[in-house]
Amino acid sequence: MHDLFRRSPHAVCFVACLFLTAMFAQAQRGASIRFDDASRTFRIDGGDVSYALGINNRNELQPIYWGARLGASDGFPQPHEVHEVASFDLTTTVTPQEFPGWGSVFYVEPALKITFPDGNRDLVLQYASHHIDGNTLTVRLKDIERDVFVDLRYEMDAATGVLGRSATIENQTKEPLVVERAAAATWTLPHGTDYTLDYLTGRWGGEFQLQQEKIVPGARVLESRRGSTGHQNNPWFAVERAHTGEQDAGEVWFGALAWSGSWRITAEMDQRQTIRITGGYNPFDFDYKLNPGEKLNTPVFYGGYSPDGIGGASRILERFELTRILPQRPKPKPRPVLYNSWEATEFRVDEAGQTALAEKAAAIGVERFVMDDGWFGQRKDDHAGLGDWYVNQQKFPHGLKPLIDRVHALGMDFGLWVEPEMVNPDSDLYRKHPDWVLNFTGRPRTEGRNQLVLNLARPDVRDYVFGFLDKLVTENQIAFLKWDYNRNWSEPGWPAVAPDEQKQVYVKYIQNLYGILRELRSKHPGLEIESCSGGGGRVDLGIMGLTDEFWTSDNTDPFDRLTIQDGFSYAYTPGVMMAWVTDSPNFMNRRVTSLEYRFLSSMQGSFGVGANLNNWQDADFATAKRLISEYKQIRETVQHGSLYRLISPRNGSEYSATQSVSPDRSQAAVFAFLHSSQFGYDYPRIYLRGLDPKAQYKVRWISEKPAAKLPETASGEYWMNVGIDLELKGDFQAAALRLDRVQ
């Protein structure tokens, strides 16, 4: 470049013109899908991403490219099959396919496996036709001999470059067939040995723990066999190339499966060092009979690419969730500040007690009052009542109306806890319909938390659940439902249907769950819903499309929460991450922390209070009132802005810090935490990110005392390059500040 500049002024002009053209092209960037007849290749563009696939000389659909957006005129040669390596690795084994059927000579994870009634299990899919409609490409595949069709759907998001992939399998033969495995997609990355896989593991009270490991030959399986998403693995992955630990640099590919039932994502490196990531229905205990003319749709597997590290990948996915997945897309309303009664009263709810809490909550600026478990049936503890969704007369002699009216008079809206998919054996519903639960005839029914799982795949159960929820919301002024789900499946039988259809429960249960949520929302358009499953046991992009927020974890210890929230933010926007301030010492670890520390930990997400306000002193109310007012001034930035993970709390870090920047870069909110000072060391300097370098930003402390000596106003360049030295010392200390662009 320097040589070019020296050589001639024309060259300078040429470079400048190229630059301007590139800038113009950048501004013009939307989505496009093109098919090139000559090379038989498809090119899909969106955001800063290009994705290409083609039809090879064997008529198989083959992946070509997934990564940074290419020049507008760039094309690809027709893909060709990979030559055999040896007689053990024939060409059909080693040639990557977009959606491989299990057949011919194939050993890695197939996307589709079918057994036909004559015992044939060979499925070889080839290109049949395609259709382009705006941002959507559908490629039709067909078995080489039988009338089994697969429609692969690709939908590109113009803004983020996130590609949604799914498949529809159709039986056009004259006999039923059995689908034994059905993935939504296989993603392929170029061969290489410098990839790191990121994924999320956990358990109840300890969700969203980030794992990072080098991808080596073989397969890493992420899955749930539990009937729902699960706390143990979350259906998200990222692959970093040449991982250095730097958050905001390097190439990253990522994906998230939109499914709330049993699922599986397999990340494997094959013998040629090609990386394939296949995800969809969990094949464990799975089959799905398709009669002639029937179809099976897979969930959508979303995938994206970022050149800006894992931090950039999260920001792309989070923007996509806000603008394309959440029910209030493309611009969700800010989440209201919420109060929840669970940790204060547990099952001991009644009209007087809830009213007293509501009055105190309103006084500190709460906008939504949510009554949790305990208000219905014969519910005194977790032994009885689930399934009987009538208001408990002893606790609420006049129904819910007096409480709801009082909540409204206090200026808040009202939310209610439900657990629609469960039943206690000690309930009128179970006594009347013992056949409504998942079970195998004549076998034990294992209880968890004294409850059984209703089989939502049954049409009568589906109608019952929709019916009582619809009635509840119609008869009461309920703005919000906290939809809980407190155990996983056991004995997942469905005796009411033929034995060869029983395993369809894995698909039909979730389809009915989604159907109920969809119908409820369309009949009650203002209704908002939280997805909760004993904390973060059902967090995924499938249910996110039908709910407004997630209960992140039952673990409300503000220090543990830093790690849980950090992990959550890799895959999900803080705008849906509910975080409550509760009492100290916290029930989980008996850890004692200040009220301000607890507030600052929770203010990094969608904020709520779950403490027993009856035990608070005047000073606590004053702190809460002040910090809730501060939160309201930054909540759009926290909930809808871009998150930068400045210092990770993982791996026993003494420190952690996050920064959120509003989409227009006019505001930033910074939160910093210290676990325990050691050896007198100072807090590491924090360098801010994502600000407008030329703009001036004014500081305002959110935490009570300034925790650093800072200029009142400085440029974005200053905050990003000079940074901030916080004066935090001691145990469980925290500080927060905000920067506002000066006009």
**Contact with ligand DGJ (CB under 6 A) among 534, 542, 567, 605:** 534
Nearest to 50 by CA among 68, 77, 32: 68
Stretch that binds ligand DGJ, among 527-535, 600-608, 623-631, 673-681 (CB under 6 A): 527-535
| Closer to ligand DGJ by Cβ: residue 486 or 715 | 486
Q: Which of 143, 484, 540, 560 is catalytic?
A: 484
| Closer to ligand DGJ by Cβ: residue 42 or 480 | 480
Q: Is 361 in the site for ligand DGJ (CB under 6 A)?
A: no
Instruction: Give the H/E segment covering residue 429.
Output: helix 428-432
Q: Is 342 in the site for ligand DGJ (CB under 6 A)?
A: yes
Q: Dihedral of the CA atoms 625, 627, 629, 632 (nearest 10)?
A: -140
Q: Is 387 in the site for ligand DGJ (CB under 6 A)?
A: no
* First-residue to last-residue Cα distance in the chain: 38
Distance CA(183)–CA(101), nearest Å, equals 10
Strand duo 549-551 + 528-531: pairing: parallel
CB-count burial class (<10 Å; 0-12, 13-18, 19+) for 20 = exposed
| Closer to ligand DGJ by Cβ: residue 157 or 557 | 557
**Contact with ligand DGJ (CB under 6 A) among 99, 259, 509, 551:** 551
560 noted as active-site residue = no
**Contact with ligand DGJ (CB under 6 A) among 387, 535, 608, 649:** 535
Q: Nearest distance from residue 424's CB to ligand DGJ, in Å?
A: 12
Distance CA(496)–CA(489), nearest Å, equals 18
| Closer to ligand DGJ by Cβ: residue 199 or 580 | 580
Cα maximum dimension of the chain: 90
CB-count burial class (<10 Å; 0-12, 13-18, 19+) for 212 = middle
Under 8 Å between Cβ of 388 and 376: yes
| Closer to ligand DGJ by Cβ: residue 484 or 528 | 484
Q: Dihedral of the CA atoms 35, 171, 267, 510 (nearest 10)?
A: 110
Q: Is 421 in the site for ligand DGJ (CB under 6 A)?
A: no
Distance CA(626)–CA(633), nearest Å, equals 11
The strand pairing partners of 224, in sequence order, are 263
Tokens of 638: 């926290």
| Closer to ligand DGJ by Cβ: residue 101 or 534 | 534
Q: Nearest distance from residue 425's CB to ligand DGJ, in Å?
A: 17
* 217 secondary structure, DSSP code: S
Residue with smallest beta-carbon separation from ligand DGJ: 373
Considering Cα of 305, then 306, then 310, then 315, what sign does the dihedral take?
negative
Stretch that binds ligand DGJ, among 144-152, 433-441, 521-529, 531-539 (CB under 6 A): 531-539
Q: Nearest distance from residue 373's CB to ligand DGJ, in Å?
A: 4
Q: Is 532 in the site for ligand DGJ (CB under 6 A)?
A: yes
Stretch that binds ligand DGJ, among 99-107, 178-186, 232-240, 532-540 (CB under 6 A): 532-540
Q: Nearest distance from residue 372's CB to ligand DGJ, in Å?
A: 5
**Contact with ligand DGJ (CB under 6 A) among 554, 557, 566, 596:** 554
Q: How many of the chain's residues bind ligand DGJ (CB under 6 A)?
A: 11
| Closer to ligand DGJ by Cβ: residue 413 or 484 | 484
Instruction: Give the H/E segment covering residue 236.
Output: strand 233-241
Q: Is 486 in the site for ligand DGJ (CB under 6 A)?
A: yes
Distance CA(153)–CA(183), nearest Å, equals 13
Q: Nearest distance from residue 417's CB to ligand DGJ, in Å?
A: 5
Q: Which of 554, 557, 560, 740 is catalytic?
A: 554
Q: Is 484 in the site for ligand DGJ (CB under 6 A)?
A: yes
Tokens of 416: 């209610």
Strand duo 32-36 + 41-46: pairing: antiparallel
Q: Nearest distance from residue 204's CB to ligand DGJ, in Å?
A: 9
382 noted as active-site residue = no
Amino acid type, 655: Y
| Closer to ligand DGJ by Cβ: residue 414 or 417 | 417
Distance CA(643)–CA(670), nearest Å, equals 10
> Which residues are the active-site residues?
484, 554
Binding-site ranges for ligand DGJ (CB under 6 A): 342, 372-373, 417, 484, 486, 532, 534-535, 551, 554
